[in-house]
Amino acid sequence: MARAVDSSDLWAPDSWLPGAWAPDSQGPRLSLERAIELFTAAKAAEGASPKTIVWYRMVLGRAARDLGAERALDALAGPELRDWLLKLRETLAPISVAGYVRGLKVFGNWCAAKELAQAKALRSLRRPKVPHKLVAPLTDEALRRLLDGALGARSGDPAPVPRYRPAPLGAGRLAPRRPAT
């Protein structure tokens, strides 16, 4: 497909190739901090709950703090992210680390979908296996002992019923302080 030399069409047959253009023709590299700001703003505009936005800010903010907020998003490497996640395992539960991985993957997929960055390292993370902990239920006897201990009753006695009496009017108010003479 031939184009006229004086055409304003900037399409090039190899424009889909990364690095096909001169380095100075590409836009500035997107920092991790700026990408997080754009992501959380987009999630808020999409109608995500405020708690979800706070969670993304917590997860991604910790990543930016530990990995470098001013770094280019595409400069993050897979081994570096895996090392960081291993350090998180020293202080966090496995389910929490899996949540961090989930948040980073969502962020990386969003950046790629919006064509802000390729974010290959983020998108290639795999969610770690999390051990399933089953909490054994209390037996009837154990529950009875627990309640008896909390209510101060002996085993076999009926539990005492607490009696509440309203406080007299004004009992909760503090008297105004008088200046010392």
Domain assignment present for 177: no
Domain assignment present for 102: yes
Domain assignment present for 70: yes
Q: What are the tens digits of pLDDT across the range 35-45?
A: 999 999 999 99
Q: What is the pLDDT of residue 139?
A: 87
pTM: 0.60
Three-state SS letters, the chain: CCCCCCCCCCCCCCCCCCCCCCHHHCCCCCEHHHHHHHHHHHHHHHCCCHHHHHHHHHHHHHHHHHHCCCCEHHHCCHHHHHHHHHHHHHHCCHHHHHHHHHHHHHHHHHHHHCCCCCCHHHHCCCCCCCCCCCCCCCCHHHHHHHHHHHHCCCCCCCCCCCCCCCCCCCCCCCCCCCCCC
Q: State the average pLDDT for the chain.
A: 79
Range of the domain at 68: 26-123
CATH number of the domain at 43, please: 1.10.150.130
Q: Is the pLDDT confidence value at 138 over 80?
A: yes
Q: What is the pLDDT of residue 177?
A: 58
The total domain count for the chain is: 1
Mean pLDDT of 142-161: 68
Q: What is the pLDDT of residue 104?
A: 94
Candidate ranges 15-24, 50-59, 143-152; pick with highest mean pLDDT: 50-59
Q: What is the pLDDT of residue 100?
A: 94
